[in-house]
Amino acid sequence: MSRTKKNLLISMRASGIGVSRAYRFLENEAGSRQNVGFIRKDVYNELHRESRNVSKINNGDANSLVQYFTEKGMSDPSFYWKLKLSDEGRLEHLFFRDCRYLIDYQHFGDVVSIDVTYKMNKYDLICVPIIGINHHRTNVMFGMGFLCNEKTESYEWLFRTFLESMYKKQPGVIFSDQDMALMNALDYTFTEASHRLCQWHINKNAVKHFGKLNHDREFKTLWFRCMKGCESEEQFEECWRRMIEEHNLSKNKWFSNMYVLRKRWSTAFTREKFSGGLHATSRSEVTNRVLKELCSSTSSLHEFVLGFERMQKNWRTIELEEDTFCRGIPGMFVQHTRILVQVGKVCTRKVFKSFEYEAVQSISVNLTQEPPDLNDEVLEFKVESRSSVTGYRLVKFNQRS
């Protein structure tokens, strides 16, 4: 492949033209595929090699960003940033957060979502937004990192730097995908957190392992019940055993591996810590979609950071508007209910509506078994429940607490 054709392909790719279209253009120019001199796979390989070379961030771009962060640090002592250089003195990894990230993490850092599917096209950098949810149940940013590769040691550097910037405060729960390097780094770094796997990613990946079972309704029912329909470990074990035996999956390696990881993805094992109602990294994925719209494939790292800060400013404006809307007691479906009035005084609109829905649904619960002795310290009631695997729930009430 001549240098001229390489440059042409790189320019076309940077302009958003796909490899297939670019290769067809070369075919038309040459008169036939045989006259091009190389096949389409060669184009993919060459562009991949070029992207690895470009990933060594341009010194001018890096210096511009360093100067920008230095000036921000002088005007805002709470602004934190850190970078790691290669042996050749080139920028490899980067992390930054402003004072608002720190404040938000102190309030909302119970649950953290990390997704690494977005890459900055120009340098092929891995973009790692660290996301949470606030009191309006909308996204809030805790920090932003850029890595030159997806190795465990690179993720470890980022997460250690993040903890350093947050004065060593560990999150309660972390959601991530099933990338092994990422999982290892999270386990090594966030030793006090409960690490959970994204159910959405698991289901997306599971399709290729299900085979013919993708069309088996009974199997799908058992699978989703194992995922988030079991309320105890005993229920999960029974449901899993039934699924494996009835569908002859005892020798399937993927299912065996998922069983080993069951405490990371099944809700039957993840009730001990508050998770904000999350079961997936969808919070990060929404952010990734926004990031893709910020910059083109030729944007510099400095331009990307400026676009990212504009996005943050917009998020914070929306949060202030929501705070304004939450003044006063929200409208209620059931009027003059003391518990709803109390919740309405302390919760935001979205949280209140979620609580109100559950409160109204509780009215439809039917009591099927009363305690034998109402004088006992702990009373146990048996009630019908459509959302339970067994069709009922046991509700315990401690009269002294």
* pLDDT tens for each residue of 207-230: 889 989 999 999 999 999 999 888
End-to-end alpha carbon distance in the chain = 78
The percent of residues above 70 in pLDDT, for the chain, comes to 87
Work out the pLDDT band at 282, boundaries 50, 70, 90.
Answer: low
pLDDT, residue 55, reads: 45
Top-ranked range on mean pLDDT: pick from 122-126, 252-256, 280-284, 345-349 = 252-256
Lowest mean pLDDT among 24-38, 162-176, 197-211, 260-274: 24-38
Q: Rounded to whole angstroms, how far apart are CA atoms 382 and 38?
A: 72
Higher pLDDT, 50 or 30: 30
Q: Rounded to whole angstroms, how far apart are CA atoms 319 and 100?
A: 13
What is the C-alpha radius of gyration for the chain, rounded to an integer number of angstroms? 26
343: Cα within 13 Å, side-chain hemisphere: 20
CA angle 329, 332, 333 (to 5 degrees): 175
Q: What is the domain partition of the chain in residue ranges?
A: 3-54, 59-198+280-319, 211-269, 327-398
* Residues contacting residue 139 through CB under 8 Å, at least 6 positions apart: 131, 132, 133, 283, 286, 287, 315
List strands edge to edge, sheet with 367-369.
367-369, 378-384, 392-398
Give the strand pairing for 194-197 and 173-176.
parallel
pLDDT, residue 173, reads: 93
Work out the pLDDT band at 144, boundaries 50, 70, 90.
Answer: very high
pTM value is 0.75
pLDDT at 90 over 90: no
Among 44, 46, 45, 48, which Cα is nearest to 18's?
44
Work out the pLDDT band at 245, boundaries 50, 70, 90.
Answer: very high
Q: Rounded to whole angstroms, how far apart are CA atoms 106 and 210?
A: 42
pLDDT in tens, 35-79: 888 888 887 777 666 555 444 566 677 888 888 999 888 888 899
pLDDT in tens, 322-350: 888 888 777 877 777 888 888 988 899 98
pLDDT at 96 over 90: yes
pLDDT, residue 296, reads: 58
Q: Which CATH class is domain 59-198+280-319?
A: alpha beta
Q: Rounded to whole angstroms, how far apart are CA atoms 245 and 251?
A: 11
